[in-house]
Amino acid sequence: MPSSWSPALCLGAWLLLLLLPRLARAEGAGELVPIPITCFTRGLDIRKEKADVLCPGGCSLEEFSVFGNIVYASVSSICGAAVHRGVIGTSGGPVRVYSLPGRENYSSVAANGIQSQTLSRWSASFAVTKGKSSTQEATGRAVSTANPPSGKRLKKTPEKKTGNKDCKADIAFLIDGSFNIGQRRFNLQKNFVGKVALMLGVGTEGPHVGLVQASEHPKIEFYLKNFTSAKDVLFAIKEVGFRGGNSNTGKALKHTAQKFFTADTGVRKGIPKVVVVFIDGWPSDDIEEAGIVAREFGVNVFIVSVAKPIPEELGMVQDVAFVDKAVCRNNGFFSYHMPNWFGTTKYVKPLVQKLCTHEQMMCSKTCYNSVNIAFLIDGSSSVGDSNFRLMLEFVSNIAKTFEISDIGAKIAAVQFTYDQRTEFSFTDYNTKENVLAVLANIRYMSGGTATGDAISFTVRNVFGPIRDSPNKNFLVIVTDGQSYDDVRGPAAAAHDAGITIFSVGVAWAPLDDLKDMASKPKESHAFFTREFTGLEPIVSDVIRGICRDFLESQQ
Ligand SMILES: *[C@@H]1O[C@H](CO)[C@@H](O)[C@H](O)[C@H]1NC(C)=O
Ligand SMILES: *[C@@H]1O[C@H](CO)[C@@H](O)[C@H](O)[C@H]1NC(C)=O
């Protein structure tokens, strides 16, 4: 019984939490490897009671969204909260995150260069403390090798067959084997790639890597499934011979997207596909088209550019903006520059952090970019205008979490009373900005409630035209009352058509109706709140539900 949680008990649980780290450390290293995260990773992205994470340096303080003070709403950036709390500085570092229950009120406080924002009521929170750097040394196969305590040599870490479970990715290193780089720097490049592979923690349960050499013609040196231990990968990299020729990186990237990432060669389902392209100088061919092909194959392209062309060489460069054109999103995340091949050890860790950041890999299929979500919004008279606005806010808060674009997530909205009105369909708007603007301006209809008819209407008119979409289909129904017609039949037809339904009821909505409409398991697809203001905490429940269902559909 939740009400029996006395403050004393909570305190007990809290103390236990504080004691846990010591117990866990004695047990074994695997759990405590800090997870490399990004500036944007939110509390809700880490689904653990307690986690050790590693924040990168150089996050921009203005871009952090942080809600609360000391206790932060789980939509807040973890690294942002850590800077705000004074746990780390702008150069990043280890942070320990504890999940906490939701709160009614998060306050706004300016601290350490960050102005946190207020938020009224959220379903979960977290707190941050300094991560232990000793933990990092003791267990940091994945992160500590760049800075071994004993000087420059790479520390030999105990080989674990399972690898780094927190970094799941299928990675192709596309190395430069052209005359641009030359034999000598080619060897330095191999050295660097080896260090990256080692720090990634290659293993059966962790990242898998393969290698392709770009030159005149691409050559796949080894596939993902050839070697699944870091030691074997290192050995295989050493064996790769320099080929020489033009720097046909575009051709090699295309070849990698099409021929390297196949089920036959070891690609795993539901795990991000990544190609890390090393370019010394510039490519001799067109890389933009190759970038588009890679995206179509769901491959995340990272460009590591080394040694920019000097002014005298610029005339020979086909396209100076090649880096931005090759990546799926030109937001700085997918590109990386190193001035030359000397002293590259310090670049290993940041690159590994990026490659292990699952939630930023939006170029491959994730729940954020591969779903169609239609909202069926009750516009009946009992709702009233101001509560109708709260419903729209609820819908917007869900919608804005997704990567809306013509190749990404799609959103549609239908309002219903006895009647139905398609406010906008899946293909009408393909930017988040437009979708949110249109949602905010939906006019309230007012009338009766026929939810069954509305479901049939939406299945036919909104989902019908996108029958061939590769995205997974979701319908989120928000209603405040009893339907005058049967909901069971139309909902069953929707389920049969492959549409997963979440039902969200407010005030007078009968629980039986909500359960009849919701997909199975009903408990995790039907939600109820007595008050319209109670919709807000349900936002994250629905988002989590969509992501969970999406992942399950990918298994
Ligand atoms: C929320 O916190 C602010 C500032 O601490 C306070 O003024 C306000 O009354 C609080 N609201 C609620 C609902 O607790
Ligand atoms: C990798 O696996 C493929 C397919 O099983 C095989 O043909 C190839 O020889 C292997 N390559 C290496 C370097 O072991």
- Structural domains in the chain? 17-138 (2.170.130.20), 157-360 (3.40.50.410), 371-554 (3.40.50.410)
Cβ 66 vs Cβ 76: under 8 Å: yes
Tens digit of pLDDT at every position of the chain (555 positions): 344 444 444 343 443 333 333 333 333 334 467 888 888 888 888 878 899 999 988 888 877 888 999 999 988 999 999 999 999 998 899 999 999 988 888 888 889 988 888 877 777 899 999 987 644 333 333 333 333 333 333 334 444 678 888 888 999 999 999 998 999 999 999 999 999 999 999 999 899 999 999 999 999 999 999 998 988 999 999 999 999 999 899 999 999 998 999 888 998 876 889 999 999 988 888 888 888 778 767 889 999 999 887 777 777 777 778 888 888 777 788 888 998 888 888 899 999 998 988 767 766 667 888 899 999 999 999 999 999 999 999 999 999 988 888 768 999 999 999 999 999 999 999 889 999 999 999 999 999 999 999 999 999 999 999 988 878 999 999 999 899 999 999 999 999 999 999 999 999 899 999 999 999 999 999 999 999 999 999 998 999 899 889 877 865
**Spatial separation of the C-alpha atoms in residues 414 and 403, rounded to whole Å:** 20
Out of 69, 71, 105, mutate this one to test ligand 1's pocket (max ligand atoms within 8 Å of CB): namely 105
Residue 521, preceding peptide bond in cis (omega within 30° of 0):
yes
119 Cα: distance to centroid of ligand 2 (angstroms): 55
226 Cα: distance to centroid of ligand 2 (angstroms): 6
**Spatial separation of the C-alpha atoms in residues 234 and 222, rounded to whole Å:** 12
CA 105 to ligand 1: nearest atom: 1
Ligand closest to the CA atom of residue 220: 2
Distances (CA, A) of 407 to 175, 259, 371, 399, 431: 28, 22, 10, 16, 10
Structure tokens at 270: 């539901």
Cβ 65 vs Cβ 75: under 8 Å: yes
Q: Is 429 in the pocket of ligand 2 (CB under 6 A)?
A: no
422 Cα: distance to centroid of ligand 2 (angstroms): 54
495 Cα: distance to centroid of ligand 2 (angstroms): 44
Ligand closest to the CA atom of residue 119: 1
Cβ 267 vs Cβ 223: under 8 Å: no
pTM above 0.85, yes or no: no
Nearest to residue 59, comparing CAs of 495, 464, 329, 354? Answer: 354
Q: Whose CA is nearest to atom 7 of ligand 1?
A: 107
Q: What are phi and psi of 407, to 5 degrees?
A: -110, 10
Structure tokens at 56: 């990168």
**Spatial separation of the C-alpha atoms in residues 277 and 324, rounded to whole Å:** 13
SS3 397: helix
**Spatial separation of the C-alpha atoms in residues 400 and 403, rounded to whole Å:** 8
SS3 244: coil
Crossing angle for the helix pair 488-496 and 451-458, to the nearest 10 degrees: 20
Nearest to residue 201, comparing CAs of 240, 172, 239, 231? Answer: 231
What is the maximum alpha-carbon separation in the chain? 77
Centroid of chain to Cα 354 = 12
